[in-house]
Amino acid sequence: MILTTPDQRRELLERSHKVAMVGASANPQRPSYFVLRYLSTHGFAVGPVNPAYQSIDGVKCFPTLAAYAAENGPPDIVDVFRKPEEAPQVARDAIAAGAKAIWFQYGVVNDEAIRIADDAGLAVVVDRCMKVEHARFSGGLTISGMNSGVLTSKRRTL
């Protein structure tokens, strides 16, 4: 099922705990690094999946989704930071790992991958960021992407 509404995405985030992040990076300049750090400090158990690393900030990194699932069980969400042309194989790997959902980050749009995941019964989120959506729902979204507390239209007093 392709999740198109904010309520559907919020519900997915609320019921999920284990996230396998395919394409996670140890480079602090990469979006996947920032998202990994954010999700890890906001209640998610994030397992980075990237064969280039043994660990990222002390967190064990897995070479494949199959290796992640063998050690941690099926992920609730597979968060995808890969090129769109690589997304169909990631979708197949997510299905094989027993994932319940797949989240294609900004720019990771591939019709074949979406169809594969949807046909397999996974919850599918396309062209959205887990960090941004989580922050949006928890009142912590600001222009800098940092948690500032609850959003309000009133100016803070200094």
27-31, 46-50, 70-74, 142-146: range with lowest mean pLDDT: 142-146
Q: Would you state the pLDDT for residue 143?
A: 53
**Mean pLDDT over residues 119-139, rounded?**
92
Q: What is the pLDDT of residues 8-50, one digit of tens each?
A: 999 999 999 999 999 999 999 999 999 999 999 999 999 999 9
**Mean pLDDT over residues 80-90, rounded?**
97
**Mean pLDDT over residues 65-94, rounded?**
97
Secondary structure of the chain as H, E, C letters? CECCCHHHHHHHHHHCCEEEEECCCCCCCCHHHHHHHHHHCCCCEEEEECCCCCEECCEECECCHHHHHHHHCCCCEEEECCCHHHHHHHHHHHHHCCCCEEEECCCCCCHHHHHHHHHCCCEEEECCCHHHHHHHHHCCCCCCCCCCCCCCCCCCCC
pTM assigned to the model: 0.86
Q: Please give the residue that has the higher pLDDT: either 72 or 150.
A: 72
Q: Would you state the pLDDT for residue 136?
A: 85
Task: Determine contact, residues 93/67, Cβ cutoff 8 Å.
Answer: no
Share of the chain above pLDDT 90, in %: 84
Residue ranges of domains in the chain, CATH in brackets: 6-138 (3.40.50.720)
Q: Please give the residue that has the higher pLDDT: either 148 or 16.
A: 16
Sequence-separated contacts (24+) of 51-57 with Cβ below 8 Å: 53/24, 53/26, 56/24, 56/25, 56/26, 57/26
Q: Would you state the pLDDT for residue 84?
A: 96
